[in-house]
Every structure is written in structure tokens, then in C-alpha cells.
Structure 1
């Protein structure tokens, strides 16, 4: 052994503990700061609010011609099923309602959807929106798809989140008046808990769906996607479905990538590179479901929740790019850029959000 050569310590648990004595206290301190200092993912939650609200608004408007038959008095034949399902007041308020009251309720639900998208008084609008929208769905749950169930759960979480901090009427009014919003620590903690619940629910849905799929023989041999894609019950582009199912390699690739993307999704959120890959894979899956299988509402609702995992810096870049494109084609005079708040980027990095769940 040479004189200037330092002895090499063998790695051991005891040596690691000795070097990281403050690991536990540092971790607890970081968690405390994350939950109490800033309202994280405010841009992602704003995108989720706008996107999910637009999809629900479109769903309500699209179904106006048949609403009374499906959810109104015309759905009375489902009464035994509704009683067993167990929806309580106020979610069962439409059970014995007449046409007039149902039309009024439906119109208010549309108005609440518009206010929800606009981001006006979301602390009041969000719980009302949940009640009005869920009461309509409770009238005829058998025709609901996964998107209806998923957004109802998400709306419960979003009641406790600050949805109007960014890109909302409320934030525009504050900027116009030159006021800075007061943020109470308890409200900030509730906001961040709601964010964690949104991410946890996403992970649970994807992981459970992937684990359920992998148990089936059709998913194991790579042929599962052939049947829904080629079915006449799905799809609005038969030529596209035929193009996909014509090649067995494409069918197998789509089948296996779908399973891998869903099972691996929760575990890929802990690193920014793998998280981006996971989001691209999941977004591609949702686009495929929307276009090939003709389920835009389900895919749109799920993808809107994925927005909370995109970093605030990315959303700000997108905002600036869209503003530049608009200014280049708009005949009006360019408006000055709004002054950024000090916590514009640092307050809601999704790396922190994913690490807490």
C-alpha cells in the first residue's frame, strides 16, 4: 500500500446512517415547507379546471335534446336501481322532479360550468358545480363512462384547491385592481393536500387498470387491442381502425405499450425525465382512445388531470408562445405583458408534487 493512498471504507448501513444523521429531520422540514409555503401546481390546476370544465360544458350542451329523457322525468324507470345505488340528498334531488325543475337545474349546471371554466369565485362555484353535475349523473348512472366517474371524484378534491390563482377572472380582477391575494397557511395546506389527492387518484387509476389488464390472456399475448379497435360499437373512422388492425405488429405494440404505460406511470413520476416520457405515453394513449375508439370525453377528462404533472415553467413557456402567436395575427395593438409574481415558477414544481405521493 502506497503512503499517500487513503484507506477505502467498506459500504455499510452504519456508515450511511453516520453520514446522514439529519436525513429524517431534513425530510420532515422539506415536507412541512412544501405544504405550507406555496400553493403548488397552480398553473397545472388552472389547465385542469379549464379543460375539464370545457369537456363537461360540451357534454351538457351536446345532450340538451335528450337530457329530459335520459336524466329527467323520462328516466323514472330507473328508480329501483337508483334506490339501491344509494344517492342521498342533495344528489337525489331530481328523482321526483318535474320537467320545469329539471330544465332549471340543467340550465344552472350549464351556467356553473361556464363560471367554472372562467375561474370566477371558484371557492363557491366548485362545490355547487359538483352538486349540480353529480345530481344529473345520479339519475342514470348505467350510461356514464369512466370520465363521468373520474371527474366527480376529482371535483371533490378540487373543492379544497385554489383553482383561480392563474388564468382566471379572479386573478384578472386582482391584477386590474393591483391587489395581491392573501394566502392563509391553512388554506395553502388544504390546496396542496388536494393536489396530492389528484395525483394519487391518477396513479391509482392507471396502476389498477394496468394490473387488471395484465391478468388477461388477450393482453398477455398482445391481441387485446384488436377487438375494441375493430368493433363497430367504437370508432368513427373505420378506415383508421382497419389500417391499425391490418398489421399484427402494430396491434401487439399498442397492446403492450398501453399496459406498460399504465403500470409504470406512478413509478416514472419521481424523476423529471421519466415523468416526461410517462406523460407523453399517456397522452398518446388518450389521443388514440379519443380518435380511434370515439371516446373524446373520457380521454379529455383523464388528460386534463394529467396537466397538474406538467411543470409551471412549461406552462409559462406555452403561455408566452401562444401570446406571441396571437399578437402576430391580431389586428389589435399588442397588450403589455403582465407583471409576474415573485413565486411565478418556484411555487409549484410538479417534481415536488409527485414526490409526495
Structure 2
């Protein structure tokens, strides 16, 4: 979750560099009446009266913190700083934010208390290189587990609430709701793909009902490993569809990164072994293995040399 969410935030920050000063910097002064109503307090409102130089510094530091967050270096200190820098930027212009922006800000609060650099991080690599083992502290472990429970609970509430709101609408009940956002020019990235989906009423109805059922059933499907896998695959497919068809990769990526918490450690270790095997096959030269006869000959020569010396 740390790596995926950090990469998506990093991509979001880099993609918006050309317009950052106009949307969140001094160029967003016209939003001041709206910002005063929101009531963000220090340090999240630190950019309200900031000049161009300070805003650019803050934005660059947010990018640097995103990179450090992704690689997993000193996450105990970096995560709260990352939350402050990222949230302060969003607080400048909340109307342009989407569900992904709001969701990841909540997740970052939870992740402050989680142990994010125990595996797959620069911190873990430095510990292995120094031959050190990380000490387990009971209070830290409890906070880590509590943070994970809060992440899962937030996911369940988001999906369940979204599904219950959908099922109340007539368009979701009659199976036509997905037609409108997919065919909308505001969301459509690939018109030919949108036309391919919307011209078939069966596909529209299927995606509409599967979306509602998957979201409402998601919290209840987590109690068994088989149903949990079905729920995760279905939700991942939904997010991929939203990212590709509706052009919302940041929102979908952030949600999917939180879903990664529900994937078992055994699965991640299997993926790690597979990636390590692919890396060895493609980028490392294998040393030619000695044949059995050659090994026997070497052992015999070594034995003769030892006996002659004796």
C-alpha cells in the first residue's frame, strides 16, 4: 500500500506541475472565501497567504517526500510530514479534488501509526546490510495492527455506503446506470471503447448490477479466504474499468492500493519469488554448473594432493 499509493500521489504531483501555481498556489486566491468556510487550521492552511517562492518550495518538498515515502526510508518521520505537505496542497482548492484525494488523506492518518518499512524498503535493506534485526515492541505492534484494522474498516465503509446509495436509485435498479457515465464526454477517454460497452444492453446491465453487488457484499466476503479473493478480484476489475474507461486512474489506483492490504502475506511472498526469478533469468548471467564427472575429478585431485602433502 505504501509503494502503490506513494507512486500514484507522486504521479499526481508531477502531472500537475504545469498548473500547480494556478490551482493551488497564488493563482488560486479567488477561492479564499471558500477556504475560509472550510476551516483548515495550521499547519494545513500554511499555503493560504504563501507567495510564489514558498509555494514552489512546498510543492517540490511534497514531491521529494513522496519519493522517500515510496522507497521506504525513515517512514516513522516521513509519513506525518508527507500527510501535512500533501494535505496542505489539497486544502488550497478542494473543489477540484476527487474521492481519491479525500480517501488517501484519511489513509495517511492511519498509516502514520503503521510499520511501513519492515519489508520492501530502504530501511529493511539497510538493516540487513548492517546485520541488525528489528526489535519488536508491543506498543508499536498494537498500533500497527490497529492501523491496519482502521484501513480495512474504512474500505468496508466506503464500499458499503457507496453500494447502498446506488441501490436506492432507479437507474441502478433497472440496470442502466452505467450507461450514462461511460457515454459521457466528461469521462470518456476512449470513445470507441465507450461505444463498444454502451451499444450492448447486456454489458451495461451486467456491469451495473455487478458493481452494486460487489460493493454491498464486499465487507461480508472478507470472512472467508475464497470469497475474499473473489471480492478483491471483482473490486480490482471495477477499479481498472474506472481507470481506463472513465479516465480516473488516480482515484482507482488509490482505492486499489488500499485493497492491497487484504492480500495475504503468502501471496505477496509468492509474487516476490516470481519477480526475483524473472530478474535472475533476464538480467543476471548464470554461472555454468559443473558436471558430476567434473566434480568427482576435482575431488579426486584434491584428495591426492592432501595425501601427498601428508
Normalising by structure 1, we get a TM-score of 0.80
Match of 1:214 in 2: 167
Total equivalences in the alignment: 287
Residues 178-193 of structure 1 aligned to structure 2 (within 5 Å): 178-193=131-146
* 1:59 and 2:31 correspond: no
Structure 1 residue 235 displacement after superposition = 1.9
| Residue 332 (structure 1) shift | 5.5
Task: Determine the C-alpha separation between the residues in 1 that align with 2:3 and 2:49.
Answer: 33
1:90 paired residue among 43, 48, 65: 43
Distance 2:141 2:187 in 1: 43
Query: In 1, Cα distance between the equivalents of 2:59 and 2:28?
Result: 15
2:283 to 306, 330, 344: 330
Q: Which has the higher helix share?
A: 2
Question: Deviations 1:9-37 (Å, cap 9, x if unpaired)?
Answer: xxxxxxxxxxxxxxxxxxxxxxxxxxxxx
User: Does 1:126 pair with 2:79?
Assistant: yes
CA displacement, residues 156-197 of structure 1 (integer Å, 9 cap, x when unaligned) = 000000000010000000000110001110011000000000
Q: Which runs of 4+ in 1 moved over 2 A?
A: 331-334
Corresponding residue number in structure 2 for 1:288: 241
Query: How far has the Cα of 1:331 moved from its partner?
Result: 4.3
Deviation at 1:204, TM superposition (A): 0.2
Matches within 5 A, 1:1-357: 48-331=1-284
Question: Highest CA radius of gyration, 1 or 2?
Answer: 2
| 1:147/1:100 CA distance change after superposition, 3 Å | same
Higher relative contact order (CA 8 A, sep 6+): 1
Q: Distance in 1 between matches of 2:275 and 2:190?
A: 31
2:159 & 2:170 partners in 1: Cα distance? 19
Q: Structure 1 residues 333 and 127 mapped into 2: Cα distance closer, same or farther (>3 Å)?
A: farther
1:231-290 alpha-carbon deviations (Å, 9 max, x no partner): 000121100000000010100000000000000000000000000000010000000000
Q: Which runs of 5+ in 2 are unaligned?
A: 288-310
- Root mean square deviation, CA, Å: 0.9
* 3-state SS in 1 of match to 2:247: coil
- Aligned equivalents of 2:136 and 2:39: distance in 1? 38
Secondary structure, counterpart of 1:167 in structure 2: coil
Determine the C-alpha separation between the residues in 2 that align with 1:228 and 1:126. 35
